[in-house]
């Protein structure tokens, strides 16, 4: 089924690319002087099987993250992770807003193994984990200020999901003045076709979607 979906999407993307380009979309934003790696929600609830939030494609996504983490660490560049977790779900007042009425937020209990970053790509000392309550890594968090304080002008965004937290983080990143690069092989989702469609649309409007090897090559070739 996924091959049929991918083939259908490629046909649609071809036609839509002509429309977008004819109207001035799909421009390139490019790299700035100093990038940071922003890893969105690569916690166990999303990366491991048999969770409500489990995503497809981890056999490719985890190795892509390992390669990126190695490259950023080798250059001494900032690495920031996010996870999504809630302190209070039941009752009239929660830290989930009304999101828990649409999604099973109750399984994202703060402090639980479900919301811990996957140990295969675990943070090292000095790498920060931000707990967020909304889809975007920027919304209601100190992320933008932390990046600016570190002299960062470019965010390389990876993680899950393409249709929600990755996409929303891209939208806020470019709106907050950061060049936005998304690594194609390092983004996942739960639903067939969601990654391809959202990466196409992100690339048209919110950031540059680049293959893993191109990102690694840029990091190898440049001093920061």
Measured distance CA(199)–CA(6) in Å, rounded: 13
Specify whether 165 is catalytic.
yes
Q: For 121, which DSSP code? A: G
**Residue 37: closest CA among 173, 189, 164:** 173
Strand partners, 36: 155
Sign for the CA dihedral angle at 197, 200, 204, 205 comes to positive
Measured distance CA(161)–CA(84) in Å, rounded: 12
Catalytic residue among 121, 157, 165, 166: 165
Measured distance CA(112)–CA(107) in Å, rounded: 9
> Looking at the annotation, which residues are catalytic?
165
């Amino acid at each position: 089924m996924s091959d049929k979906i991918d083939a259908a999407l490629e046909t649609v993307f071809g036609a839509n690319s002509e429309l977008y380009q004819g109207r001035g979309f799909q421009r390139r934003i490019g790299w700035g002087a100093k990038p940071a790696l922003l890893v969105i929600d690569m916690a166990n609830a999303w990366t491991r099987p048999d969770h409500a939030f489990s995503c497809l494609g981890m056999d490719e996504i985890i190795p892509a993250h390992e390669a990126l983490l190695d490259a950023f660490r080798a250059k001494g560049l900032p690495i920031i992770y996010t996870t999504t977790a809630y302190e209070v779900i039941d009752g009239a007042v929660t830290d989930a807003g009304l999101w828990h009425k649409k999604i099973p937020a109750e399984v994202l209990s703060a402090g639980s193994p479900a919301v811990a970053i996957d140990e295969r790509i675990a943070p090292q000392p000095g790498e920060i984990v931000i707990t967020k309550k909304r889809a975007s890594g920027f919304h209601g968090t100190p992320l933008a200020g932390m990046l600016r304080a570190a002299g960062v002008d470019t965010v390389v965004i990876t993680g899950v999901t393409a249709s929600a937290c990755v996409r929303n983080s891209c939208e806020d990143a470019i709106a907050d003045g950061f060049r936005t690069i998304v690594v194609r092989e390092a983004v996942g989702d739960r639903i067939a076709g969601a990654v391809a469609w959202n990466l196409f649309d992100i690339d048209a409007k919110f950031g540059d979607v680049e293959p893993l090897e191109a990102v690694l090559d840029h990091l190898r070739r440049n001093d920061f």
